Amino acid sequence: MAEERTTGTVKWFSERKGYGFITRDEGKDVFVHFSGLRPGGPRYLSEGDKVEFTVEQDQRGLRAADVVVTEAAPRQSRGYDRY
């Protein structure tokens, strides 16, 4: 049985720390770790990226898996990593 995919927007993602949060289209935030990004795709996410993913439950709560960027947000100057 195929896992149900959902969509959302990256709320924030720290390239330095390797994690962040995605706000699902229905409004709830989901944790995302760099290991949840689909192999062969980007190695990090940017605030505002539109993404598609599956949601998994682990001991700490919900987390995004098999994350794919469907629409990249305009990139801003990367003077520093604020997270």
DSSP 3-state of 58: strand
Give me the number of domains the chain comprises: 1
Quick one: average pLDDT of 21-40? 96
What is the per-residue pLDDT for 2? 53
In a domain, 80, yes or no: no
- Sequence-ordered list of residues with C-beta below 8 angstroms from that of 56, at least 6 positions apart, any chain: 62, 63, 64, 65
Full-model pTM: 0.85
Determine, yes or no, domain membership for 46: yes
Question: Could you tell me if residue 1 is inside a domain?
Answer: no
Residue 32 and residue 6: Cα distance in Å, rounded?
13
Is pLDDT of 33 > 90?
yes
Residue 38 has pLDDT above 60, yes or no: yes
> How high is the pLDDT of residue 75?
77
- Name the percent of the chain lying above pLDDT 70: 88
In a domain, 78, yes or no: no
Q: CATH number of the domain that 25 lies in? A: 2.40.50.140
Cα three-residue angle 75-80-45, rounded to 5 degrees: 45
Judge whether 66 lies within some domain. Answer: yes
Handedness of CA 58, 62, 67, 72 (dihedral sign): negative
**81 domain residue, yes or no:** no
